[in-house]
Amino acid sequence: QVRNGTGFSRAELLQASVELRHHALGYVKSKALQCAVRLGVADAIHRRGGAASLEDLLAEFSLD
């Protein structure tokens, strides 16, 4: 195990980086879901017959 100036091995730093990215992605995913719920994306898709393109959603929400 090679130690650097941090006192942690390369493997430990890599594992910490992986865990940090995992937690950050979980946070981003939960915020994306929160936004989708607030915008009513599921209802908009339902109104379009169960499928909607990004353009359909933009038209639905007037987000041009």
Give per-residue pLDDT as tens, 34-53: 999 999 999 999 999 999 99
Instruction: DSSP letter for 63, please.
Output: -
Query: Is 0.75 surpassed by the pTM of this model?
Result: no
Going 49 to 52 to 55 to 57, the CA torsion angle's sign is: positive
Q: What is the pLDDT of residue 26?
A: 97
10 band by pLDDT with thresholds 50, 70 and 90: confident
Q: What is the pLDDT of residue 59?
A: 87
Q: What are phi and psi of 21, to 5 degrees?
A: -65, -40
Give per-residue pLDDT as tens, 50-64: 999 999 998 888 765
**What is the rounded CA–CA span in Å between residue 1 and residue 8?**
9
Domain boundaries, the chain: 10-61
What counts of helices (H) and strands (E) characterise the chain? 3, 0
Contact 42, 60 (CB under 8 A): no
